[in-house]
Chain A
């Protein structure tokens, strides 16, 4: 158990809908990272927050957004969902300025 928690574990929804994925980092970690894992693209970085502020952005779609709250948990919002958004979404956390990122168990999203 990495100490990173993610909810929900599974999510099934329809095209055009909006969902919110939640992540709680390890105790003491200030950085939260979101990654998407799909069969064709592998694990890809989406976005990073550090102590409530956006730190870095990857190939995140405009339909996707995230935020980190004062208690350091983070939410990833996915809107206008398409079939191709079906994937595993992972959250990772690190102390901040450290190279070791610890991953949560992921949320499996299925868009029908």
Chain B
């Protein structure tokens, strides 16, 4: 079993929908949680990061961390076709440490 699990999708939604992306993890020592967006054949782009449990909002994106359940989420409001990409969750034990990634969820937003 992988340390970080993520549904590979693809997840197909209509433009304007609210998208919910999720990851579960097994190592309760993870403290830092990130979401990256990766377009095909490009490098991962940092979208959100949170420390410990709680919510963080940035524009159309909201990241949630529930450490008690070992579950993190990314919500995308008013989804756009340009949001079509693979979304990777990542986490680390401490600041500056290596990142452990989920396998990624492929999202398709249809006009």
A→B interface (CB under 8 Å): 2, 4, 31, 33, 35, 42-45, 48, 50, 56, 58, 90, 92, 94, 96-106, 108
Contacts and interface: CB of A to CB of B under 8 A. Distances in A.
Interface residues on B, range: 20 to 34
Nearest to B100: A45
Contacts of B92: 99
Given A92-B99, A100-B46, A103-B46, 10 more contacts: A33-B98, A42-B103, A43-B88, A43-B99, A50-B96, A97-B96, A99-B96, A103-B44, A105-B42, A106-B43
Interface string B14-57: 00000000000000000010101000011111100101000000
Contacts of A105: 42-43
A49 B42 CA distance: 23
Contacts of B90: 43
Contacts of B45: 2, 103
Interface string B100-111: 111110000000
Given A2-B43, A103-B43, A42 B98 contact: no
A100 B103 CA distance: 19
